[in-house]
Amino acid sequence: MKILSGKSVFSGIAIGRISVLQQEDFSVKRIKIQDTQKEIKRVSQAKEKAVSQLGKLYEKALREVGESGAAIFEVHQMMLNDEDYLDSIRNIIQTEKVNAEYAVAATEDNFAAMFEQMDDEYMRARAADIKDISNRLIRILCGSDEENMETSEPVIVVAEDLSPSETVQMDKSKVLAFVTRKGSSNSHTAILARTMNIPALINVEYEADMNGKMAVADGKKGCLIVDPDEETIKKYRNLQAQEIKKREMLKELKGKATETKSGHKINLYANIGNPSDVAAVLANDAEGIGLFRSEFIYLEKKDYPTEEEQFQAYKTVVQNMAGKKVIIRTLDIGADKQIGYFHMDREENPAMGCRAIRVCLDRPEIFRTQLRALFRASVYGNLSIMYPMIISLEEVKKIREIVESVKQELTEEGIPFRKDMEQGIMIETPAAVMISDLLAKEVDFFSIGTNDLTQYTLAIDRQNEKLDNLYDPHHEAVLRMIRMVIENAHKEGIWAGICGELGADTDMTESLVEMGIDELSVSSSMILPVRKIIREMK
């Protein structure tokens, strides 16, 4: 029995045989050519075929994992049509008089290296996208069609790395888990794995001769156990059975109130990224939506979403929630969420730079468009707005001025909206915590973003894997700040909630309730586990 350590990007347990994925290696040779126009034409034809393939992959992913999971294939289509990328290929063909395959491979190396050298981890992860689209072009130029990812029985797929294309093309009924040597928690493949509810491990140093061997992928401990003995297999089968039993028992909590035995009620809401996530919210019996990350509407577009596009998205969510509260966070981009068409300046420390409300106040025309869409959608249900990354009273006052201007504009146009709509702010900076007594006088509620609050309080970049052992949302300084925010909110008669990862930390549920938290907003899958703990409290 051999235990290989790695890093979990999605929890769960898988037991089965290993299938080491032998990814086809298209060796690219540098060949001198005379007819450069012929090679350029070959690239153009290959590009069109690749875009067509990606369109089919988008439709398949849309059916299987929803819009947010499928969006990467739209991004890949856009990257294939990028003129800088194509110009580089054409330039290499013309200046070096070389074959198309070599020109694509050279461009891949140059662009991937450029992304890998960037400071921002999200942008570094885009190097994998460049490699994916380039490899697709090279496969087509070499005369190969789509990759064959079929497996004959359910297996634990082990590979050097997995591109989003390869992940989506797999028959999900035949995949028990993903295990890769490379990859990152922020890669699209990791995101897809979580969306598809498949256990996944990265940074596992496997060996090729493991193919066909029995193994256990432990997504909780982040390890792959190869050739487990009977006792180990029995132990993990029992753990699997316990997990299934727990999930079944939790279903009995659907329709029941989220309150302690003494009758203290907590609002238990869900976090979502796009309208398609509402199905999971309803299936898991969330009492509302505490965080709709509206930036995903922007991330999935090739240009600024129009007022009408945003209105339809917000309206759909509000209507589907049928009167339950829906809290929509205004645009929160910057830091690890970059959008090309915003043309943001490169920053040495983007986590501390122009992001979230700072972008909105710096570009009020974008902010006004979103606010108009939000207020228009407000008449279709119970909608609230919250503003991220607040550090001062001045920001709140500027927001109020813009909001009042938008409301006046809608009134003059005869467009209906809810005049009593709740408006709150996210508390995710130490500055906001320290003046939360003053901020509480100006807003209707607080929502504590514990991910960024922990990052800024402890001066730790939460994207830096080397500092994982220091990133501690249970740190006493963070907990004292949460307590202070709740107390200051209640003094002014407003409610306070948590929408960060700490809200779903079941080790902290009792402590947060005892602090006086009014609302917890968590991923849909954590609704029932958190409800269970609250209902068992005195």
Which residues carry out catalysis?
Answer: 188, 499
Residue 238: Cβ within 10 Å count: 10
Task: List the one residue out of 294, 271, 262 whose CA is nearest residue 373.
Answer: 294
Q: Which residue has the tokens 């074959």?
A: 99
DSSP-derived secondary structure for 230-243: HHHHHHHHHHHHHH
Which residues 6+ apart lie within 8 Å of 53 measured at CB? 136, 146
Tokens of residue 25, six digits: 């290696």
Q: Alpha-carbon distance 370 to 333, whole Å? A: 14
Residue type, position 330, single letter: T
Question: Under DSSP, is residue 269 helix (H, G, I), strand (E, B) or coil?
Answer: strand
User: What is the C-alpha separation between 37 and 34, in angstroms, rounded?
Assistant: 9
Q: List all residues 6 or more positions away from 201 whose beta carbon is below 8 Å from its beta carbon.
A: 6, 7, 8, 9, 177, 178, 179, 180, 217, 219, 222, 223, 224
Burial bucket for residue 6 (CB in 10 Å: 0-12, 13-18, 19+): buried
Strand arrangement of the beta sheet that strand 223-226 belongs to: 2-5, 223-226, 214-218, 13-20, 155-159, 175-180, 200-202, 7-10
Number of C-beta neighbours around residue 285 at 10 A: 19
DSSP 145-180: -S-----SS-EEEEES---HHHHHHS-GGGEEEEEE
CB atoms within 10 A of CB 302: 13
- Token pair 């090309």 in the structure block, residue: 340
- Cβ-Cβ contacts under 8 Å for 359 (sequence gap 6 or more): 331, 333, 334, 342, 344, 366
